[in-house]
Amino acid sequence: MGDWHPESPARLQAIEDQLIASGLSSLLVRRDAPLASTAQIERVHQSCALSAVRDALPGPGGYHPIDADTLLNEHSWLAALRAAGAAIAATDAVMAGEFANAFCAIRPPGHHARPSTPMGFCLFNNIAIAARHALDVHGLDRVAIVDFDVHHGNGTEEAFSGDPRVLMTSFFQHPLYPYSGVEKSGALLSNMINLPVPAYTRGETIRDLVQAHWLPALHAHRPQMIFISAGFDAHREDDIANLGLVEADFAWITSRIVDIATEHAQGRIVSCLEGGYNLSALGRSVVAHLRSLASLG
């Protein structure tokens, strides 16, 4: 999105570096991501959201702003299709029993992308597209989406609010972009467990909230598959926001999600990278997340 932008290719390089340094790299089975089809994207997005990307691509070297923080370059359409395609392919592989779970190291992220429009660094809502794929193509009746990015996943909420097949649990710093997720009631929000927390909230408080609010709701929902919007910008070293989580907190949260998946979902989890902009903290946190997904302790 431009050399100044925190959502940069260096993020995936930082993850790769830490996977190598940790020794985890050699234990992973890797797949390249296919492109999603427009029909798969349209399970979540209106045609105007697709055309906002496809029909607005600038020429070589140029940038087209969708909003102040969200820009397109000449490659953005294919990059967005490939990010969503990874989430779909991971869902297919996990449903086929090839893997218990999968992590998609993808960008651009997705959870702010609304059905009608890209926003907030996000072009298409990768996690929502994968969840709809699991429901519509694989015929699942109940899925859960767990979002631990520091920002509220407004696009995902908009895609699924009021849909009893989907339980979404999240915490997020509030007030903070996109300033949503704090409406208190209404039938459309009955499947949303939103936990807004103030700046400087630390990991132990987050763990207590997860224990008290997420886990009972997840057990009651009995999801057949769990999707994780895995943002690591709640890390205390990440300056895009002001929460105080560390790698061990991401590991703990992930292990609780693995517990739920093991009990209700045959272990099935697809996790997709969302935010995380301090490169060192991002790489270390992804390693902690993957160790927990692999139950390596």
**Residues in touch with Zn ion (CB under 5 A):** 149, 151, 231, 233, 275
Q: For residues 18 and 154, which CB has a smaller minimum distance to Zn ion in the complex?
A: 154
Q: For residues 233 and 249, which CB has a smaller minimum distance to Zn ion in the complex?
A: 233
Would you call 112 a catalytic residue per the annotation?
yes
Instruction: Please state the closest distance from residue 226 (CB atom) to Zn ion, in A.
Output: 19
Torsion of the alpha carbons at 273, 278, 280 and 286, rounded to the nearest 10: -20
Cα separation, 295 vs 291, whole angstroms: 6
Q: Which residue is nearest to Zn ion (CB)?
A: 275
Instruction: Please state the closest distance from residue 153 (CB atom) to Zn ion, in A.
Output: 9
Q: For residues 171 and 221, which CB has a smaller minimum distance to Zn ion in the complex?
A: 171
Give per-residue burial for 31-48: e unless 16+ CB within 10 Å, then b. eebebbeeebbbbbbeee
Do residues 115 and 154 touch, judged by C-beta distance below 8 A? no
Q: Which residues contact residue 199 at a Cβ distance below 8 angstroms, ignoring those fewer than 6 apart?
A: 173, 176, 241, 242, 243
Q: For residues 85 and 155, which CB has a smaller minimum distance to Zn ion in the complex?
A: 155
Cα separation, 62 vs 95, whole angstroms: 40
Instruction: Please state the closest distance from residue 155 (CB atom) to Zn ion, in A.
Output: 12
Catalytic entry in 112, 133, 174, 221: 112
Instruction: Please state the closest distance from residue 282 (CB atom) to Zn ion, in A.
Output: 11
**Catalytic (active-site) positions:** 112
